[in-house]
Amino acid sequence: MKIALTGYGKMGHMIEKIAQQRGHEVVCVIDKDNTSDFDSDAFRSADCVIEFSTPATAVENIRNSFAQGVPVVCGTTGWTDAMPEIKEICENGNGTFLFASNFSVGVNIFMAVNRYLARIMNSYPQYKPHMVETHHIHKLDHPSGTAITLADEIISATDRIGAWMEPDDCRMKDADSNTILEIDHIRQGEVPGIHTIDWDSDVDTITISHSAKSREGFALGAVIAAEWLADKKGFHTIGEVFNF
């Protein structure tokens, strides 16, 4: 399989390593200094592009990939306000796309546990959820895309929780704390990613948590997703890949 990369930071390097270990060829690498390479035979030869760039560049990278007829697996977060546009392009037959806020197999298992626990908690209003996400100091967006996905899953499963907010937003908007899921973020060192959800009551606390040990799990999941997407068309989700 031929793979292109957009974004060549630490994740891009790790994805390249994993792809080659799995027998794939990385035919084109595009970063901020060589975006003209979208219009190249090397890029067009790719069966799939894996996109891990920045929130500011992701949407344009996706559009450029679609213009060259190359399917996109995207793990960049912080840009998803533009997701309806990307989905519409795919539904009109002009792009193939798969997005995940986190490609780690373990995180996707964790998300399945989160959905199950939230459905249980819908019947126990004495428990209030709270989330903390911790990442390395280079991560630009907050809350993390994974935290937002986890929060949206809780909101969908529980009638009493209507929105998520960061603590400063809660204070500024004087929100009803009983209907809000607060998400705290911490940026420290080179932490790959920790997500912890507490369900707290007056008598006890139930906690679920996922802690990544390295970026390797994210990279492996992205390559697996590219392998899955290469012969597909349209708009897809990570749940289709892992069947969770």
Which tens digits make up the pLDDT trace of 175-213?
A: 567 899 999 999 999 999 999 999 999 999 999 999 999
Instruction: Please give the DSSP secondary-structure letter assigned to residue 81.
Output: G
The per-residue pLDDT for 77 is 87
Tell me, yes or no, if the pTM score tops 0.85: no
Band of the pLDDT at 242, cuts 50, 70, 90?
Answer: confident
Tell me what the pLDDT averaged over the chain comes to: 93
The per-residue pLDDT for 175 is 57
Q: Which amino acid is at 140?
A: L
- Is the pLDDT confidence value at 172 over 60? no
Half-sphere exposure of 171 (CA within 13 A, CB side): 4
Q: What is the mean pLDDT of residues 119-145?
A: 94
Contact 98, 74 (CB under 8 A): yes
CA distance 5 to 169: 36
Q: Which residues contact 37 (CB under 8 A, 6 or more apart)?
A: 28, 30, 43
- Provide the token pair at 63: 């559009």
Q: Which residues contact 9 (CB under 8 A, 6 or more apart)?
A: 52
- Is the pLDDT confidence value at 156 over 90? yes
Identify which of 87, 85, 74 has the alpha carbon closest to the alpha carbon of residue 4: 74
The more confidently predicted of residues 206 and 145 is 206
Contact 76, 7 (CB under 8 A): yes
Band of the pLDDT at 215, cuts 50, 70, 90?
Answer: confident
- Provide the token pair at 155: 């909101």
Band of the pLDDT at 141, cuts 50, 70, 90?
Answer: confident
Band of the pLDDT at 78, cuts 50, 70, 90?
Answer: confident
pLDDT in tens, 10-55: 899 999 999 999 999 999 999 989 999 999 999 999 999 999 999 9
Catalytic residues, by residue number, are: 135, 139
